[in-house]
Structure 1
């Protein structure tokens, strides 16, 4: 019987190997108290469902809209009022994408889109490279009927280790997401929804 000697170098190389695999984005992520992908999807799905079913947002007449009376939406910001450094733009993007796919709403460009549009219009008008008959001009954009905006808040409670809880440390985080849809011309709030998520993380005596 032959025995192969494993050198320290091979052991070091094996220890240094890393492995990466693809996960299913539809799966529920590993639960901890921090805000994550599953929370984003929970908030987005709830808001899209509620907003899409609102009778006040079925149609909205207005000058210059022609026969298409679908509500024209400007997607405003979502204020992060939590203690975490969160990119709430991900929630806005998810909600807007789902509403556009539903076919019930029309959307106008946000700040980033307006910057890109402005650059392109100035190029078409002033570069001399675009056929004047096809060059786009300012002053012809759709005017939004409503603005959608909201806020994300959190409350955190911690319970330290003790003999009573067998050395288990507990952290509870309550997230509250509120979204509003307001008529730009009248200032009337046509729709409002609130979604809550509570998360708990327990760390054993030997955890960090």
Structure 2
């Protein structure tokens, strides 16, 4: 009797697991510019919106005209640390890439490789020095130095009660002269999201 009962339970579990495993998964392609807030957390729309607005603000300030008048060249910018101090996981790399794209596409400034990228480039240059032909190898000591470093942070404040939550994001960026450590621009962007219908999450 016990053996029969065990066999029935095992058969039932097998059918149940098989049914769960055979459920169809629906995939729908959507536009990359389409706004979709599923969880209420930081997403690609926030990254693009913030980078676009902050770069527009940065390039409209007096420091840029002053630099061009003094040097007769457009500025070279490097991204330093942009710290995620928020409650969420924020892909800072994607955010930095969005900022770089906006600045480069503006034609008003250029970016130079960060410390991690420079290491790879220098390794390649060293390899060329040993293996590439004389006319094609790139010489050491010809790197373009940055004029300014961008640093900043992403912060959040959460206010929640029951199944209602407000998440407040504050993104602060600043541009610092590498010549004399002067801060030539400070930008700030704020986003507030109201999330309802779920248990509070921190």
Tell me the TM-score normalised to structure 2 length.
Answer: 0.81
Alignment of 1:46-125 (within 5 A): 46-58=53-65, 60=67, 69-125=73-129
- Whole-Å separation in 1 of the counterparts to 2:179 and 2:21: 66
How far residue 18 of structure 1 moved from its aligned partner, in angstroms, is 1.4
Q: Which residue of 2 aligns with 1:166?
A: none
How far residue 33 of structure 1 moved from its aligned partner, in angstroms, is 3.0
Q: Which residue of 1 aligns with 2:137?
A: 135
Contact between 1:33 and 1:201, CA under 8 Å: does it hold in 2?
A: yes
Compare 106-115 and 87-96 and name the one that shifted more. 106-115
Given candidates 48, 51, 55, the residue that maps to 1:44 is 51
Query: In 2 relative to 1, CA 18–190 (structure 1 residues): closer, same or farther, beyond 3 Å?
Result: same
Q: Which residue of 2 aligns with 1:20?
A: 27
Count of residue correspondences: 184
Q: Which residue of 1 aligns with 2:160?
A: 158
Q: RMSD between aligned alpha carbons?
A: 2.6
Query: In 2 relative to 1, CA 188–17 (structure 1 residues): closer, same or farther, beyond 3 Å?
Result: same
Tell me the TM-score normalised to structure 1 length.
Answer: 0.79
Given candidates 178, 198, 201, the residue that maps to 2:195 is 201
Query: In 2 relative to 1, CA 204–193 (structure 1 residues): closer, same or farther, beyond 3 Å?
Result: closer
- Whole-Å separation in 2 of the counterparts to 1:14 and 1:80: 38
- Whole-Å separation in 2 of the counterparts to 1:43 and 1:93: 12
Compare 185-194 and 39-48 and name the one that shifted more. 39-48
How far residue 13 of structure 1 moved from its aligned partner, in angstroms, is 9.4
Stretches of structure 1 lacking an aligned partner (at least 5 in a row):
1-7, 161-168
Query: In 2 relative to 1, CA 13–182 (structure 1 residues): closer, same or farther, beyond 3 Å?
Result: closer
